[in-house]
Amino acid sequence: MICKLLGALGASIVLCLAPVAAQTAGAPDSNPAQAEPTGPPSFDLVIRAPEAVQSLLERHLELRRYREVSDLDDAELARLLALAENDVRELVATLGYFTPKIFIAREPGPGRPTVVIAVDPGEAARVGDVAIDFEGDIAASTDTDAALQREAIRGGWRLPQGQAFTQSTWDDAKAQAVRDLTARRYPAGRMSYSLADIDAPAHRAHLGLRLDSGPLFRLGPMRVSGVERYDPVLVPRIALLPPGSIYDRERLLQGQLRLASSGYFDSAFILVDPESDPQAAPVQVTVREAPLQKVVLGIGLTTDTGPRASIEHIHNRVPGLGWRAVSKLQLDRKAPFAQSEWTAVPDEKGWRWAALARVERVDDGNLVTYGQRLRAGRLRTEEHIDRNVYVQFDRARVQTQAGVPVTSAESGAGSALSANYVWTGRYFDNMTFPSRGHGLGLELGGGITLGGDRSPFQRTVFRWLGLLPLREGRLQLRAEAGAVLTRPSARVPSTQLFRTGGDTTVRGYGYRDIGVALPGGQVGPGRYLAVGSVEWQKPVRRGGLPTNFESVLFVDAGAVADRVGNLRPSVGVGTGVRWRSPVGPLQADLAYGVKVRKLKLHMSVGFVF
C-alpha cells in the first residue's frame, strides 16, 4: 500500500491508495448532530492496542459516536463495522503506522453486543530523505544573509532523516520552517507546497517542502499612536528601528522591550503589515503611557543580604527640566542605600545626559564601609551595545564592627575623582532566557586620590560571559579580571577597589567574603581581581520533552590581592536547579566552599550582564 500526505498552505490530506469499503446509501450520517444520545448504549466498545494508539482511537474513532444511539439495528451496526477498519487505518497512519494489522469483531453479550477492535500497528515509518526548496527573493538573492537564512532553515528542520514520522511532527516541522522564514527579511513568506510520500512496505517517508519567501522587506516610516503626555521623539529614539533597515522580528521585539522597560510606557506593541509596501513597510507602534509619577514599594530576600524592603519614587518629566528622575531607598541587613538618578531624553544619535547621587552602607561581616558617590556624564543604549562616559567622585569611610575607624590604605578608606568609560556588548539569542551567545564588558577609568598624598591611579575591569550549546544542554563560561594601578601608599576608596564572593560571583562563600587579609582577622578590598566559572546547564526532561527546569553543575573560583603574585583562588563547587519563571531564570544553588569547608545556599532571579 502506498500513502501520500499532501499539504499546501498549512493543510494536509492523507491519500491511501488501497481498496476501502464502499459506503452505502443507508450508512448513518457522520455529522455528530445526527447522532444525539437517545437512550442506553446500543453496544460496548473494547479497544486493544499499544497505549498511544489506544488513546488516539478512544478520542477520535468515528464508531464511538454511535454507541449512544439506542435504536441502532443489526444492519446499521454491520455497516458501521465495515467502515471502521478504514477509519482505524487512517487514524493510525497519523502516528506513522502504515501497515497495521486490524481485527474487528462483534461479540454477543447478555444485554447488548460488544465490538472488539484489536490493532497491531506494526513498524513505524521513519524519515528517509528531506528536500527543502525555496522560491522568491530568498532563492535568487546573492546576499550572504539570505544564504545563511536558507542554511539555518535547512539546519533547523525538526524532522530529520531517521526520525519517526507522525502527522503532528510533520505539521510542527513545517510550521517551524515557516516561522524561521518569516522571522527575518520575509514577513510575507509562506509554504507553497509540501509532500510526504509514504513507502509503506519499506516504512519510509520521503519529505518535500517548498517555501516562498516573497519580496525582501525594509522598514519604512514609524507611525506612533498613544503618545500624549511625553515628548513624541521618545518612541523612535528608544525603539531604534531606523527607516531602510531590513525587517527582523527579533529587532522589533527588542524595540518593544526597550520601550516597555524605559519607564515612560506601561506597554508597547510594534507591528509591520506583511501586506504593505516591502520597499518601505510602515512600522506601526502602539504605546500605553505610564503615569507621570508613581511610587513603587518592594520587598525581597537574597541569601547574600537577607530580607530587604524598598521604596522608589519615579517622576518621568521633572518640571522645568524634562528629565526622568528615579529615587530609591532600600533597607537591608548588609547593604542599605539611598540613590537618585536623573536622565535626559535621548538626542537624535541616542545619547542622553545623566546624573547620579548615592549614599550606602556596606557591612561585609568584617568591616563596615560608608560610601558616597556623585556621577555626571552621558550614556547611549543601542541594539547590542551600551556606552557610558562620566566623571565620578567617590568617598569611603571605613570602621570595624565595634565602630573603630580604619584609615589605612589597605582598608579602602579615602576619596577620589575619576573619569570613566564603560562599554558593554551583549550578543545573546535572547536577553531573558539566553541559550547561546556571549557578552563583553570593559571599564576604563583614571583619576586622582584626594585624601592624604594625592596620587594618580588607573582602573581597568574586563568581563566576559559565553554560552556554548552542547548536544545535551549548554556550557556557561564566565571570566572577570580587574586591576587598579597606583602607588602602594595611595588611599583609593573601596568603591574603586575589589571584593568578591556571593550569589553571582563565587558561590560557596558569603557576600564579599573574598578579599585581602588585614591585621586582626579583618578582610579588606584589593587592587587586583580574578574570577572564573564553568557551569553545565542541562534541561530536565519529562516524557522525552524538555521542561521549564534545568539541572546545573558548576565550579567557581575567585581571588583578590594587592599584588598579582599574591592571587590565590578560592574555589566553590556545587549543583543547582533553574526554573524559567515569568520574570526570568530563578536559580537555587547549593555550593561547597573548598577553602572555608562549608556548604552555602545561593538564590537569585533573572539574567543580567
Structural domains of the chain, ranges and CATH numbers in brackets: 2-120 (3.10.20.310), 126-212 (3.10.20.310), 219-289 (3.10.20.310), 346-605 (2.40.160.50)
User: Rounded mean pLDDT of 472-477?
Assistant: 94
- Model confidence at 39, in pLDDT bands (50, 70, 90)? low
Joined grid coordinates for residue 561: 590581592
pLDDT at 591: 97
Query: Nearest 5 degrees, angle CA 316-CA 322-CA 326?
Result: 35
539 SS3 class = strand
Residue found by looking up cell 589597605 in the block:
410
Least confident of 220-234, 373-387, 534-548, 568-582: 534-548
**pLDDT at position 453:** 81
**CB-based contact 400:388 (threshold 8 Å):** no
Pull the grid cell for residue 376. Answer: 555626571
pLDDT in tens, 335-369: 899 999 999 999 988 899 999 999 999 887 778 89
pLDDT tens for residues 421-469? Answer: 999 999 998 888 899 999 999 999 999 999 778 999 999 999 999 999 9
CA distances in angstroms from 126 to 52, 155, 166, 226, 465, listed in the order given = 17, 19, 9, 53, 40
Q: What is the pLDDT of residue 405?
A: 85
Decide if pLDDT at 304 tops 80.
no
8 pLDDT higher than 70: no
Q: What band does 86 get if pLDDT is binned at 50, 70 and 90?
A: very high
**Measured between alpha carbons, how far is 539 from 542 in angstroms, rounded to an integer?**
10
Specify the 3-state DSSP secondary structure of 254.
Answer: helix
Can you give 148-209 as a three-state secondary structure string?
A: HHHHHHHHCCCCCCCCECCHHHHHHHHHHHHHHHHCECCCCCEEEEEEEEEECCCCEEEEEE
The 3 state secondary structure assigned to 512-532 is CCECEECHHHCEECECEEEEE
**CA distance linking residue 603 with residue 128, whole number of Å:** 47
What CA–CA distance (Å, rounded) separates 561 from 556?
17
And the C-alpha cell for 15? 491519500
Collect contacts of 270-278 with beta carbons under 8 A, ≥24 apart.
270/239, 270/241, 272/187, 272/217, 272/219, 272/247, 274/182, 274/187, 274/188, 274/214, 274/217, 275/188, 276/220, 277/220, 278/188, 278/214, 278/215, 278/216, 278/217, 278/218
Residues 432 and 582: beta-carbon distance below 8 Å: no
Closest CA to 56 of 16, 83, 96: 96
Using an 8 Å Cβ cutoff, are 588 and 551 in contact? no
pTM, entire model = 0.72
| Half-sphere exposure (Cβ direction) of 262: Cα atoms closer than 13 Å | 34
Measured CA distances, 322 to 231, 266, 378, 430 (Å) = 9, 19, 16, 33
Dig out the grid coordinates for 381 from the structure. Answer: 543604549
In the structure grid, which three cell numbers stand for residue 176, read together?
517551524
Mean pLDDT of the chain: 89
Q: How far apart are CA 381 and CA 574, in angstroms?
A: 36
Neighbours of 61 (CB within 10 A): 16
Quickly state the pLDDT bin for 2 (edges 50, 70, 90).
Answer: very low
Contact criterion met (CB below 8 Å) for 362 and 335: yes
For position 365, what pLDDT does the model report? 75
